[in-house]
Every structure is written in C-alpha cells, then in structure tokens.
Structure 1
Amino acid sequence: MQRCLELFHEPFSNFMRAQATAGVFLLIATITALWWANSAYALAYQQLVNTPIGFFIGDFELRASFKHIINDGLMVIFFLLLGLEIKREVLAGELASPEHRRMLILCAMGGMIAPAVIYSIFNWSLDSQIGWAIPMATDTAFALGVLSLVRKYIPISLIVFIVGFAIVDDVGAIVVIALFYTQQISMVYLLVTIALTVMLILANYAGVRQPLFYIIAGIATWWAMLQSGVHATVAGVVIAFTVPAKPKLATEKLLGNAKSIISSIQKNTEDIDVLASKNDHKKVLAISELSEHANTPLRRWENTLHLPVAIFILPLFALINAGVVFSENSFIDSLTQPVGLGIILGLVVGKVLGISGACWLGLRYRIGCLPNDITFKHVIGASLIAGIGFTMSTFIASLGFDGQPEHLHNAKTSILVASGLSALLGILYFRITAISIKEKK
C-alpha cells in the first residue's frame, strides 16, 4: 500500500492542488454572489442572471437565460470532467482494488441514503419532498479545499479515500438526476442519444483518437439529450465514458520505435541540426508524436479540462446560483422549515451517521478494508467534511425546485449554512484529534 501511495503521490498531489484551487475560486465566487445579491446592486445581479442570450439563423432561433446557459450548457463540461475522473478511478484508481472499492461504495451509499432519509422524514407528503436528493452529494472541490487547511494533521491516503467515495457519491447523484429530475421523455430524441452514444463507443473500439470527432459527436449527443427531456448534463458523463483510456500504440512498440529514433540521433550528435536539416527535424517531430501516442485521450482531456473547470466554469456556476438574499427571517426559516431542517441535518448529521456507520459495518463484517494508515477516527472526520455539498446540492435544488422559488431560496440558504457548519466541524475535529494524539505521545 505504501509503495502504491508513493507511486501516485506526485500526480495525486497535482490533482489535489487543482481541486483545492477550484475550492478557492468557488469560495470567492460564492462570497461575491452573496454580497452582490444583498447589496444596493441586487437588481443588477438579478438582471444578469435572467439576461436572455441567443442567436438566430433564418427562422431558427436559440434563446435562453444566462442562468440556463450555465446550468444546462457549461455545466456539461464539469460533468464531462467528472465522468473522466470516475472512469480513471474505476480503471486505475482506488476503485480498481476490490477491497477498497467495496468499502468506498459502502461508505458512499451510506453517505447518500442517510441524508436522503433524514430529509424525507422532515418533508414527508409535502410538496418539498421532491428535494430529497439535495443533501446526498459531497462537493469534492470544496471538501479538498477545506482538507488542505488540515493537511498536516492527516495522512495523504485519507485524501485519496475521500476523493474515492466522493466520486462514487457523484455517480449516485448523476443516476438520481437522470432518473428522478427529468422532464417528460421524448423517445425519438432518447433513441437518437442512444444511437450517438453507441457510435462513440464503436469509434473507441475502432481506435479513433481524433479529439475533433469526439467533440462534434459529443455536442450532437448533448443536444439530443437536451431535447429528450433527460437533463443535458448527464450527457457529459455519458460522453466521458466513451473517451479512449488506452494509448494509441502498445508500450513495447512505442518504446521500440522511440529507441530506434533516439539511437539514430545519438550516432551523429555533433552533426544534428534541427533548424537547418529537414531530416533531423523530422526525427525530433517523430519523438514528439510518439510521446503523444504514449498518452491516453482520457488523461489528456482530464488534464486539459481541470484548469478551465476550476477557475471558470464552477466559479461562474457559483456566481449565478449562490446569490441568496440573506435576512434574519431566511436564516430562521433554514433552521425551522422542513426544507431547511432536512438539508442541514441531512448534510451535517446524515453524512456522519451514513458514512461512519457504513464504514463500521464494513469493518465489522469484513466487507471491505481501509488503507493501512487510515483509522476509523479519520473516517469520522472525513464524514464531517463530506457534509460540504455546495455545487451538486445547489444544482439538484435548482432542478427540483425550479417552479418553487420560496423552497429554492430556503434550500440554497440551508446548503450554505450546512456546508459552512460541516467545514468548521471537520477542521475543529482534525485539529482537536491531532492535539490529543500529540499529548499522548
């Protein structure tokens, strides 16, 4: 296990930094939205959110509000990145090990079911029952951003563990969105979506690696899914699962070709002139092309998308969706109304009970195992931080309460309160446990 962690330390550290960066930008965008919506410029904020944007060609017109373009359009790219991360984890990450996979799935299931049950208890038979999935998901970017504040108190394998169950958590949220938060289904467009997905899968097996093909076919798949009634963001995950995860050339052939070219260059090192000699230039380009073939499209796409998603798409989503008008009454409502109670207790209490309880059962009945340097105490702290559910929770709330502005406002307020409380409790927990361990020594 230690050797495995050392092998993945550098790439995972890069991933951690990217996610922590996303958390910082998300926090800045959230604070900006809250200030803007509660300032003297609140009208300008609402006008921005509802500004219609579109274009027309002849009789064809495409028109939507700025908010819908972000939520139904740009967020597809976030879900595409999410899908790429899920696929990589299943093939080569924490979810590739059967023992760890069983424990991660068990913890994630507990972390989804307990919050949903708590919310449903408070909203049973009410029109707000539709929001039962709001407290299910963990915001990976915010969670890792908070973990970076206590990183010196925790083992790096705990961060890997949290990313693992957060990814399973996201899979559950995506399935819930697809099954329970869709409009009336159009079978014609759904069949078109399926046909396009099958085409992408066949292209993968046929060895197609050109990004342009996947981009064009992916846009067509997104449009068909948008028209089918299934939420368009699900298309991002579907497309991600069809992106090739293997390099174009086998490793042995790749190394053989590279050694051959490098050997020919080494024989005449003094006469090499990349600028003047076309032949030498071709050799250098050939090595560059081989290195490109050595990489996998899945990794390349994931690395390319991390930065724009972290510093542009997620912050823009937060800016447009987090503008909640705060008042004493809205804060009291979040603590007294069924929607608010369900969300806050679901995220703050439900995540702890669900994840920790599932982990205890998994260890007790040997369903799965934890990495060597992670204890049950670490899992309790992780489950506290898992109560940060900002992005996905807000997204589901926007879908479930689309025609219920009062419930949506209450839900957004409660998500912010619960996420802040979970972050604070998680930080305090890890600092207190670290102090107690140091005192024992």
Structure 2
Amino acid sequence: MPGNKNPLPPMSDEPPEFEDFKTYAHQAPVATAGRMAKRMFTRGTWPEARRVKELLQTETIGGVLLLMAAVAALTWANSPWSHSYEVLRDAHIGPHFLGLNMSVAHWAADGLLALFFFVVGLELKHEFVVGDLKNPSAAAVPVIAAVCGVAVPALIYAAINAGGDGAQGWAIPTATDIAFALAVLAVIGSHLPTALRSFLLTLAVVDDLIAITIIAIFYSHGFSLTWLVAAIVPIALFGVAVQRGLKNPVVLGVLAIAAWVCVLNSGIHATIAGVVLGLLVPVKGKHAIADRMEQRLHPYSAGFAVPVFAFFSTGVTVVGTSITDTLTDAVTIGVIAGLVLGKAVGIFGSTFLVSKFTRAELDDNLTWSDVFGLSLLGGIGFTVSLLIGELAFGSGSSADDHVKIGVLLGSLLSAALASIVLARRNRVYAQLAEEEERDDNHDGIPDVYQRPSTA
C-alpha cells in the first residue's frame, strides 16, 4: 500500500472503555521483510486489563496463604506433635446419612474445593462469552499452549511410570496452580506486562477446564446413574433461577448444596458440581450476575478454601523416612519431570511453533525469554495436582506421599528456574508498567488503552 506501510483501522465513536480493540489485540498487522505478520501478546482492552489486574491481586494473596498453609502443614507433620496433625486430618465429622460423614481432609477436598471449582466455572464462563476466549484467533495461542502444557507432562510421567504401579497417576503433573504461580510472580517482580499476565491467567483457566474433564472421566469411582439423574433437578432449578435474575443467596445456596450432595453420591467427583453450576450463571444481559458472584466468592475461595485444602493435603512426614527411596521412586521422578520439563516444553514449544506456522511475531516490548520464564511458571502445580494424586492412589498411601513430595519439589524447582529467567527482566517490566499506567488526561483510563497499538 503506497505511502502507508502500516495503516491503522478506523476508530469507532464509542467511549474508549467500550472500544473494541480486537483489531489490535493479538492480530495487529505489521510489515516485516515484505510480508504481513501478526503480533503475539499485544495489549488488549482497558476493561479486561483492569479486571485481570484486580483478579490477579486476589490470586496473589491467595497464593501466599496457600504457601503458608503448606509450610505450616509440613512443619506440624514433621514435628514431635505429628500425631495430633493426623488425628485432626482423619477425624470424621458430619451426619451419617447421604454419605456426609467424612474425614476433615475429605471435606476439604470434596467440599471446600467445590467452591474453588464454582469460581473456576464463573471464570470459564466469562472468558468464553465476553473475555479473551470469545475471539477464536485471540484464544488460539493460550488454548494451544494449555493443551500442550497438559499433554507433554502427562506423556513424560507416563513414559517414566510405564508398566509400574504408578501409571494411574499420569494426570498429576498436568495442572498449573494459578494462585501459587502468581504469588511467585509477585515476589520476583510484579511488573510483568499485562498481555503476558493475561496469557498466564487464560492458560490456567483452560488448564483447569482440561483438568476438570480428566477428573470427571478418569478419576470417578462407583458410578450411580440414579444419583446423577437426581442431580439434574437441583442443577436445572439453579440454572433457571440465575437466568431469571434470582439473587437470594439462601435459595441459590440450598440448590447448590443439593446438587453437590447428589453429585457426591453419584461417584463423579463432587467438585464437578461446582464448575457445572458456575457455567450456568449468566455473564451478560440484564440478569448478568457472574461478575458480582465472582467478586464476592473469590476471596473465600482463594483465601480460605484452597489454603485449607493445602493444609490437609501437604502434611507428609519426611522425618524418619528414606529420602533416597522417595526421590528415586518413579512416581516422584515422574511428577517432578512432568512439572519442570513437561510444562516448559509444552507451553513454550507450542507457542514458538504457533509463531512459526502463523508467521506471528512477539510484541516489540517482549522477548522469547519472557515467554520461556512464563512457561516455567506453568510448572508450579499444587491444588489440582494434589487432588488428582489423592484420587489416583488414595489419601495417606505411600504413593500419595511421594506425589506430595514430587509436587512440592517440582513446584519449587519451577519457581526457582522461573525466577532466574524473569528476574533479570524486572527492570524492563517496571518501565513498561509506568507506560501502561500513565494517565496524562486524568480520566481514569491509561493513555495506552486510548490509542491504536503501535504494533
């Protein structure tokens, strides 16, 4: 196009906060070497960036609490008072009817995590309906990265444990713990460009969806069709209620608990009820209440439900056991290799290949080392990895203890390697953050979101 090498699309007349920036985000054309290329990890819209920033702050706080809970559990379980930890963890509470007399640890895994998965369902609904995943071209990179970030760790674990007793744990290293990963990110530098932080969050959301599907298909036991059919009634009533704009927390809570009890007794893991209910909540239209629900429930999920689960799931005794036997066990090796190597190769490798096959290029402010550091952060597995370990081997088994050690060591190693890669870019990130936060016209919207991308 003569005289205009990089034409910009026309802006609409809508206010900046409602401007559709899809033309720029992930697809901004740029002339390179006589051809037209696409940009990866470009800036999105200001409303979505603001929402992601607020969500990540809550996730970061939750990740810190999760880490503190894990340290407390490990300390207690390896202290002279370790027996009292086991007594508390294994104590049974709840009525004996409807299968509700469960151990404290079981309540944490099946009960509290249902709240966590409900919030995940809300986030999934938002992303697929009004968020980044509604645009197929924008969603392609994080979705492909998430799929490969699940597949490669599973294959590595399966190869190491092929033919052994640990083979059924193949899905353990497939999950990324977004709260833990963001807590680490906050420590090593909170100035990661918004586009990459959004990529990490979107990747983790898709990762959770895959993990939920894996749990439902491969780790459900004692299936009961009667209870599953019974679950349809409260789930349907909940769906009708929220679609009609009912906001009464008592009514919605009773329906949600009824659905959870039915799913619990159906043999499908009870947390699946949470994500199904979350997906039914409307995110747009006059009855859109998903964002309000997420804002109210997310602090309880990230700040209470997940840390409590971590507390009762990570208290493995290592004092008096053979560290050599634990570290040389195929289960432990498979989990560590899957998290550290598998996640990095799956996420980074697929992203790099997408760029080559689609001729896309990174945004000007980023380098491939940034993406690699982010891929290493994906190796921080915790909540869902520990849950799958319990489902695969049974809580308290020696294999489950090895899973816990593998998840802890693999996550710590991934965090350390990511810190090495990303820390040296922290100064650059700070400069980028100053640009993104500049608001010269004082209208509450950063200037960078009110002009077309320079990509």
TM-score range, shorter chain: 0.7 to 0.9
Work out the CA distance in 1 between the residues paired with 2:123 and 2:361.
Answer: 22
Work out the CA distance in 2 between the residues paired with 1:407 and 1:153.
Answer: 39
**Equivalences for 1:263-342 in 2 at 5 Å?**
296-327=288-319, 330-342=322-334
Give the AA of the match of 1:54.
G
CA pair 121-437 structure 1, distance change in 2 beyond 3 A: same
**Equivalences for 1:93-242 in 2 at 5 Å?**
93-152=131-190, 154-242=192-280
Aligned to 1:427: 419
- Aligned to 1:55, the other structure's residue is in SS state coil
Kindly indicate which of the two structures has a greater share of residues assigned to helix. Answer: 1
Structure 1: gaps of 5 or more residues: 250-295
- Cα displacement string for residues 376-429 of structure 1 (whole angstroms, at most 9, x for unaligned residues): 322211110110001111111011111770100111011100000000110111
Residue 47 (str. 1) matches residue 39 (str. 2): no
Give the AA of the match of 1:220.
A
CA pair 330-436 structure 1, distance change in 2 beyond 3 A: farther
Work out the CA distance in 2 between the residues paired with 1:125 and 1:3.
Answer: 47
Residue 78 (str. 1) matches residue 78 (str. 2): no
Work out the CA distance in 2 between the residues paired with 1:98 and 1:87.
Answer: 15
Residue 348 (str. 1) matches residue 354 (str. 2): no
Work out the CA distance in 1 between the residues paired with 2:280 and 2:88.
Answer: 36
Quote the RMSD (CA, aligned, Å).
Answer: 2.4
Cα deviation, residue 199, structure 1: 3.5
CA pair 149-156 structure 1, distance change in 2 beyond 3 A: farther
CA pair 201-54 structure 1, distance change in 2 beyond 3 A: closer
Work out the CA distance in 2 between the residues paired with 1:3 and 1:411.
Answer: 39
Match of 2:384 among 364, 383, 392: 392
Aligned to 2:4: none
CA pair 403-14 structure 1, distance change in 2 beyond 3 A: closer
Percentage identity across paired residues of the two chains: 36
- Cα displacement string for residues 137-185 of structure 1 (whole angstroms, at most 9, x for unaligned residues): 0000000111112335531221111000011001000000000000021
Cα deviation, residue 205, structure 1: 4.2
CA pair 9-153 structure 1, distance change in 2 beyond 3 A: closer
Work out the CA distance in 1 between the residues paired with 2:83 and 2:60.
Answer: 32
Give the AA of the match of 2:50.
E
Aligned to 2:59: 19
Work out the CA distance in 1 between the residues paired with 2:250 and 2:276.
Answer: 17
Cα deviation, residue 311, structure 1: 2.2
- Cα displacement string for residues 328-356 of structure 1 (whole angstroms, at most 9, x for unaligned residues): 85543343111011100000000011111
Give the AA of the match of 1:379.
V
User: Could you tell me whether the CA contact under 8 Å between 1:100 and 1:370 is conserved in 2?
Assistant: no
- Cα displacement string for residues 25-78 of structure 1 (whole angstroms, at most 9, x for unaligned residues): 11111110010000001000000001111236xx88842111111111111111
- Cα displacement string for residues 119-143 of structure 1 (whole angstroms, at most 9, x for unaligned residues): 0001112221110000000000000
Give the AA of the match of 2:300.
P
Cα deviation, residue 217, structure 1: 1.6
- Aligned to 1:416, the other structure's residue is in SS state helix
> TM-score if structure 1 supplies the norm length?
0.82
- Cα displacement string for residues 296-352 of structure 1 (whole angstroms, at most 9, x for unaligned residues): 311111011121122221111111111011248554334311101110000000001
Give the AA of the match of 1:18.
T
Work out the CA distance in 1 between the residues paired with 2:251 and 2:93.
Answer: 27
- Aligned to 1:365, the other structure's residue is in SS state helix
Aligned to 2:12: none
Q: Which moved more, 1:418-427 or 1:150-159?
A: 150-159
Residue 360 (str. 1) matches residue 398 (str. 2): no
CA pair 383-331 structure 1, distance change in 2 beyond 3 A: farther
Work out the CA distance in 2 between the residues paired with 1:61 and 1:179.
Answer: 22
- Aligned to 1:127, the other structure's residue is in SS state coil
Number of residue pairs matched by the alignment? 390
Work out the CA distance in 2 between the residues paired with 1:247 and 1:211.
Answer: 20
Work out the CA distance in 2 between the residues paired with 1:26 and 1:300.
Answer: 24
Greater Rg, structure 1 or structure 2? 1
User: Could you tell me whether the CA contact under 8 Å between 2:119 and 2:297 is conserved in 1?
Assistant: yes
> TM-score if structure 2 supplies the norm length?
0.80
